[in-house]
Amino acid sequence: MPAPAQLVQVSPTVWELPVSYKEGMRVPARIVATRKLVEQLDQGVYDQVTNVACLPGIAEYAFCMPDGHWGYGFPIGGVAATDPRDGGVISPGGIGFDVNCGMRLVRTDLTADEIQPHLKTLVDRLFERVPAGVGSSGFLSLKPKEFCQAVEQGAAWCLARGYGLPEDLRHTEEQGCIGGADAAKISQRAIERGLSQIGTLGSGNHYLEIQVAQPQDILDPVAAAAFGVDRDHQVVVMFHCGSRGFGHQVATDYLRQFLEVMQPKYGISVRDRELACAPFDSPEGQDYFAAMKCAINMSFVNRQVILHRIREVFAEVLGRPAESMGMRLVYDVAHNTAKLEHHTVAGQRRRLLVHRKGATRAFGPGHPDLPAEFRAHGQPVIIGGSMETGSYLLAGVGTGNQTFYTTAHGSGRTMSRAQAQKRWDGRQLQRDLEARGIYVRTTSFRGLAEEAGGASKDIDEVIEATRQAGISRPVVRFRPVGNIKG
């Protein structure tokens, strides 16, 4: 689709729509992309990112990352920082329904040759132990009080029950628990939906994948060594999931509340109901912030339990302890969050609420929030591609401050799920992938068709855009050999 006539190319990978593009824009809207990626954008992205630019208290720019595509309220890949001291708002549409949908990367000392004889058994066993699909339930049976403890304590709750190692917390964003979560701010319906969902993948674009790094895929040997993924033909496990129905209910509850109070109580108008919001410092804004943090922590708990199950399966199938195979967490990164951070805007240090919707935090080298062993190299960043093409481990860079230290989170879609279902047959796709050496298990062949590689942007082009734009740099590329899809 042709880009708007007002779109100005600021640099080879930054494009801007000025405030004159749409009445009510408070800041320009910027899209980080190569020309090829810009040509793939639909009008909905331009509409949404400029609507975001109209939000009260927004600072500097509204952004869309290289994997950007149409979403709910914000585009997927949308980023906006609001200033609470300037009437800044918090918007569930800028966070998403699957709060803290995120990625984990687990390294091993295993090689492709070592696991090849066991690959199908590993995938089959993981498919049994890590439930996937709509409505799937985990192996933990919790009472409401226990669930509330879990969502307030985060991944540390798992370690207290034997589901993980102490270093897992150090290698998780926010050390697996964002402070200020308050279970008193979540509804009974949200608790009911979340009770049985810990330790599950869910559906849609969520997956668990066994991958291999070939020698030519190690792109930054120094950083790769620091992250523990510098061996030829090294096996890693990557998975992508979030807060499931619990996070969805939290977002739904507060969207309804914000729609009721936004205009009559606070005099706020938005260009799209999906951008319903409230002043961050208002009672409603603070209640949602505390509830949203519960969903962030639930997702950390979910991924921590899944990591425990992965270690169990590898130990059983390969007949030795997970520790002896070097199964250590590289990092856990969150998407779909809003966090208070300090950033410099126009030469002033400001405390901002950074909304990242389908976008990844990517702190640069030296940032104090990073583990000491990674500080010289920047934050590990995990960007998943399709099950056909591969995924990447990147690192944050110093110049990432131009996007509030934010980068892409995946390859991004180029067509709707309905279009993908019409174009591909899930059963045939499964057979084709196996013929190419990628063994896939799925709970839904329709869902598998939706995630066909051809429905996504070129992951290599997305990564190149982040590199050229100076918002993250590639470290290792991984190729899939086994995959579980919801």
Confidence of residue 330 (pLDDT cuts 50, 70, 90): very high
CB 256 within 8 A of CB 314: no
pLDDT average, residue stretch 317-327: 98
More confident residue, 205 or 247: 247
Q: What is the DSSP letter of 53?
A: T
- pLDDT, averaged across the chain: 96
Strands, E, within 358-396: which ranges? 360-361, 380-383, 391-395
Q: Which two tokens stand for residue 318?
A: 């390969």
* CA-based torsion, 9, 14, 17, 18: positive or negative: negative
| Alpha-helical regions (H) of 351-486 | 417-423, 426-435, 445-450, 459-469
Q: Which two tokens stand for residue 17?
A: 């729509």
pLDDT of 31-61, one tens digit each?
999 999 999 999 999 999 999 999 999 999 9
State the DSSP string of 207-267: EEEEEEE-GGGB--HHHHHHHT--STTEEEEEEEE--HHHHHHHHHHHHHHHHHHHHHHH-
Lookup result for tokens 């309220």: 73
**What's the whole-model pTM score?**
0.97
More confident residue, 94 or 486: 94
The one catalytic residue in 69, 240, 355, 409 is: 409
More confident residue, 134 or 444: 444
Confidence of residue 1 (pLDDT cuts 50, 70, 90): low
Q: What is the DSSP letter of 456?
A: B
Report pLDDT for 63: 98
pLDDT of 233-246, one tens digit each?
999 999 999 999 99
Burial class (CB in 10 A: 0-12, 13-18, 19+), 330: buried
Confidence of residue 254 (pLDDT cuts 50, 70, 90): very high
Confidence of residue 423 (pLDDT cuts 50, 70, 90): very high
Structurally, what CATH architecture does the domain formed by 102-138+165-176+198-241+299-332+360-485 represent? Answer: Alpha-Beta Complex (3.90)
- CA angle, residues 186, 191, 194, in degrees to nearest 5: 125
- For residues 234 and 213, give the distance between their C-alpha atoms in angstroms, rounded to a whole number: 5
pLDDT at 71 over 80: yes
Q: What percent of the chain has pLDDT over 70?
A: 100
pLDDT average, residue stretch 137-156: 94
pLDDT average, residue stretch 351-360: 98
Report pLDDT for 367: 97
Confidence of residue 228 (pLDDT cuts 50, 70, 90): very high
- For residues 400 and 466, give the distance between their C-alpha atoms in angstroms, rounded to a whole number: 10
Q: Is 206 a catalytic residue?
A: no
Report pLDDT for 135: 79
Q: What is the DSSP letter of 280?
A: T
Domain ranges of the chain: 102-138+165-176+198-241+299-332+360-485
Report pLDDT for 88: 98
Lookup result for tokens 């628990």: 177
pLDDT average, residue stretch 260-268: 98
pLDDT average, residue stretch 441-467: 93
